[in-house]
């Protein structure tokens, strides 16, 4: 499993997927090697072998430099199948193919649409999408919307395997007290402060609402950001809004999701978003950015917005109609149980890897007319 920060999962959706899938495959008797950046020097974690390699600490080169070292190691220590996470790593696929190792690429969301990339960055990510289409034996899409995108843009097939959702039935009130909060007493945002996550729209909309419960904003960015500066300026204008920065304590973060009156989700360019699934699994009442990916995940069990005014109305309605909000959250949790089960996800990965190893899936089965 190549292309992430590795395990233990302490950062994002890819890392969580690697941990949840990898440990289940290890429990099923498979040998799992995870290439890791940093972390402790332990050789194993939850049955997975950790191969720890360095990376250039730069926003542009970190991922690709680490993947390059990982692929070099892989070429010398062969495996039956390689799972590469993130289409940005596609330039290394020729080395894996030259090593005659079957490879699937989890393409993630539409990275080229992220506002932080300029014209050159967008061209780079689009070029990597094309490379992944041409060189991978299989593409993995975590949302039907991503499948549609690759079919429509590249005439390329892919296999749909979503993320899973951790299911919570209780909120640890003692954890919330670390931030001076109580269950059902606040609205919550958890997101990197980047334009495509629309935290600025959420803050503006909340400020327009007549909400009594405060807005807790969890998130930051690891570089200088005009968008982060904008969010902070907007938040300073309303005493109900509280920015708490990044929260890396998993127990506290779980409690924040489970104790929220609403979870406000502004992500717009990904596929199946892990933060959204975490909120659903915790039974939070979700108010989400109106985009096909979010509607695919949530179905009818959420309110949607695309303007500050719509967000303000949804937040106010959640406070004035708390029983409806609670029922909506419970329905979303049941949807997560039914559709986003990690055991099922791991079984699908196992089947895919068996087919790749048996050469039942090869790049020739996907058309590449564009």
Mean pLDDT in the chain?
93
Residue-by-residue DSSP string for 198-242 = -HHHHHHHHHHS---SPEEEE---SS--HHHHHHHHHHHT-TTEE
For 87-91, 108-112, 232-236, which range has the lowest pLDDT when averaged over its residues? 108-112
Note the pLDDT of residue 367.
46
CB 353 within 8 Å of CB 24: no
For 110-119, 141-150, 234-243, 251-260, which range has the lowest pLDDT when averaged over its residues? 110-119
Q: What is the pLDDT of residues 134-185, one digit of tens each?
A: 999 999 999 999 999 999 999 999 999 999 999 999 999 999 999 999 999 9
The answer to whether residue 15 scores a pLDDT higher than 80 is: yes
d(CA 317, CA 300) in angstroms, rounded, equals 16
The answer to whether residue 47 scores a pLDDT higher than 90 is: yes
Q: What is the pLDDT of residues 247-256, one digit of tens each?
A: 989 899 999 9
Instruction: Name the DSSP letter for residue 334.
Output: H
In the chain the domains, ranked by start, together with CATH numbers, are 13-164+342-365 (3.40.50.2000), 173-339 (3.40.50.2000)
Which residues lie below 8 Å from residue 299, measured CB to CB, with a gap of 6+? 335
SS3 303: strand
First CA to last CA distance, the chain: 29
Least Cα distance to 36 among 3, 58, 84 occurs for 3
The answer to whether residue 366 scores a pLDDT higher than 60 is: no
Q: What is the pLDDT of residues 60-81, one digit of tens each?
A: 788 899 999 999 999 999 999 9
Percent above pLDDT 90 for the chain: 82
Q: Does the global pTM surpass 0.85? A: yes
Can you say how many angstroms the Cα of residue 219 is from the centroid of all Cα atoms in its chain? 14
Note the pLDDT of residue 109.
67
Instruction: Name the DSSP letter for residue 284.
Output: P
Least Cα distance to 266 among 304, 315, 319, 215 occurs for 304
For 35-39, 112-116, 283-287, which range has the lowest pLDDT when averaged over its residues? 112-116
Mean pLDDT of 194-203: 95
CB 223 within 8 Å of CB 196: no
Rounded to 5°, the CA angle 248-299-292 comes to 80
d(CA 99, CA 86) in angstroms, rounded, equals 20
Note the pLDDT of residue 59.
66
Strand-pair category, 82-85 with 103-106:
parallel
CB neighbour burial string for 185-219, b if at least 16 within 10 angstroms, e if fewer = ebbbbbbbbbbbbbbbbbbbbbbbbebebbbbbbb
Which residues lie below 8 Å from residue 344, measured CB to CB, with a gap of 6+? 164
Note the pLDDT of residue 134.
95
Q: What is the pLDDT of residues 297-324, one digit of tens each?
A: 999 999 999 999 999 999 999 999 999 9
Note the pLDDT of residue 113.
66
Q: Which two tokens stand for residue 281?
A: 């699994």
User: Residue 370 — very low, low, confident or very high, per pLDDT cuts 50/70/90?
Assistant: very low
The answer to whether residue 216 scores a pLDDT higher than 80 is: yes
Q: What is the pLDDT of residues 251-282, one digit of tens each?
A: 999 999 999 999 999 999 878 999 999 999 99
User: Residue 20 — very low, low, confident or very high, per pLDDT cuts 50/70/90?
Assistant: very high
């Amino acid at each position: 499993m190549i292309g992430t920060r590795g395990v233990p999962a302490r950062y994002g959706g890819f890392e969580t997927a690697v941990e949840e899938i990898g440990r289940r495959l290890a429990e099923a008797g498979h040998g799992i090697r995870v290439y890791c950046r940093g972390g402790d020097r332990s050789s194993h974690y939850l049955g997975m072998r950790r191969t720890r390699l360095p990376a250039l600490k730069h926003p542009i080169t970190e991922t690709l430099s680490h993947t390059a070292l990982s692929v070099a190691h892989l070429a010398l220590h062969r495996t039956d199948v390689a799972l590469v996470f993130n289409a940005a790593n596609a330039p290394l696929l020729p080395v894996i193919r030259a090593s005659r190792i079957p490879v699937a690429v989890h393409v993630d969301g539409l990275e080229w649409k992220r506002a932080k990339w300029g014209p050159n960055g967008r061209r780079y990510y689009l070029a990597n999408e094309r490379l992944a289409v041409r060189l991978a034996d299989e593409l993995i899409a975590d949302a039907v919307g991503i499948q549609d995108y690759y079919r429509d843009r590249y005439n390329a097939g892919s296999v749909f395997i979503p993320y899973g959702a951790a299911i919570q039935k209780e909120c640890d009130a003692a954890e919330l007290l670390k931030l001076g909060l109580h269950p059902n007493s606040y609205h919550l945002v958890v997101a990197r402060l980047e334009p495509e996550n629309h935290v600025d729209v959420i803050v503006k909309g909340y400020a327009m609402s007549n909400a009594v419960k405060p807005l807790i904003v969890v998130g930051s960015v690891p570089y200088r950001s005009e968008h982060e500066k904008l969010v902070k300026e907007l938040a300073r204008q309303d005493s109900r809004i509280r920015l708490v920065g990044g929260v890396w304590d998993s127990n506290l973060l779980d409690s924040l999701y489970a104790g929220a009156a609403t979870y406000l989700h502004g992500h717009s360019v990904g596929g199946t978003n892990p933060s959204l699934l975490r909120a659903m699994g915790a039974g939070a009442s979700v108010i989400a950015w109106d985009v096909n990916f979010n509607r695919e995940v949530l179905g009818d069990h959420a309110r949607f917005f695309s303007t500050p005014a719509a967000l303000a109305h949804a937040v106010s309605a959640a406070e004035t109609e708390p029983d409806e909000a609670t029922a909506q959250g419970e329905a979303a949790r049941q949807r997560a149980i039914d559709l986003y089960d990690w055991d099922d996800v791991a079984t699908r990965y196992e089947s895919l890897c068996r087919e790749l190893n048996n050469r039942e899936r090869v790049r020739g089965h996907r058309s590449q007319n564009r």
